[in-house]
Amino acid sequence: MSPREKAYILDALREEQERKRAAGSPASASLREVVRNPTIWLLIAINFCYQVGIYGYTMWLPTLLKNLTHTGMGKIGLLAMLPYVAMIIGMFATSYLSDLTGKRRLFVLLPLVGFASCLALSVLTQSMMFVSFAFLIGSGFFLQAAAGVFWAIPPKLCSPETAGSARGLINALGNLGGFCGPYAVGVLTQHISSAAGVYSLAVTLAVAGLLALTLPKRCED
């Protein structure tokens, strides 16, 4: 940065701190204050369940395709690309519609419910290979559709002093779902059936959708 740019940023930071002092607002918030906020734990729970679905799906997608198509790994690799192409479309479409309407809760809820539904239907229609594969592609469409909208919510529910710490905590604890999801699918697949593993992901995502319904209205634009 040029000296002029540095001076501008430093002046802006000083003015911000002076406004906070004049208003009696704290310059920063402790982790204890963040942890005591029940809304933060709601967001952690939603993110945890979402990550269970994301990682459970992505880690087991090749196995699901193998069981469905009974084809070689080369073709499975090609087929596995299609859900991720759909994922790109889903991310852009959901983010655009959320920004256009100002709806945040709705565009977290709809992708979670859509993801859960497509996973469940991919199992229910396994006797029709092309239909089941279409639902796996649909799962890909919703795979990351809620992510961008979800991360736009914490700043609206937290004060400027707690927003950074809150995001870190939501991300750190929520990402534990990335371990639990694939592990649960593996255990259920080994001891019950592959269908049970997929259904467990669908149920967890449905729970995330129900939790999203309880988010405060102030998260909307």
pLDDT at residue 82 greater than cutoff 60: yes
- In the prediction, which pLDDT does 53 show? 95
- Percent of the chain having pLDDT more than 70? 93
- Which residues does 171 contact at the CB level (< 8 Å), separation at least 6? 47
- In the prediction, which pLDDT does 30 show? 64
Of 59-63, 138-142, 167-171, highest mean pLDDT: 138-142
Higher pLDDT, 164 or 167: 167
- In the prediction, which pLDDT does 25 show? 52
Q: How confident is the model at residue 118 (pLDDT cuts 50, 70, 90)?
A: very high
25: amino acid identity, one letter: S
Per-residue pLDDT tens digits for 184-212: 999 999 999 889 999 999 999 999 999 99
Distance CA 75, CA 97 (A): 34
Q: How confident is the model at residue 93 (pLDDT cuts 50, 70, 90)?
A: very high
pLDDT at residue 35 greater than cutoff 90: no
**Rg over CA atoms, the chain:** 21
Say if residues 91 and 145 touch (Cβ distance below 8 Å).
Answer: yes
- In the prediction, which pLDDT does 85 show? 95
156: amino acid identity, one letter: K
Q: How many CB atoms lie within 10 A of CB 194?
A: 18
- Measure CA 34 to chain center: 21
Domains of the chain: 32-219 (1.20.1250.20)
Say if residues 158 and 42 touch (Cβ distance below 8 Å).
Answer: no
Taking the model in full, what pTM does it have?
A: 0.83
Mean pLDDT score of the chain: 88
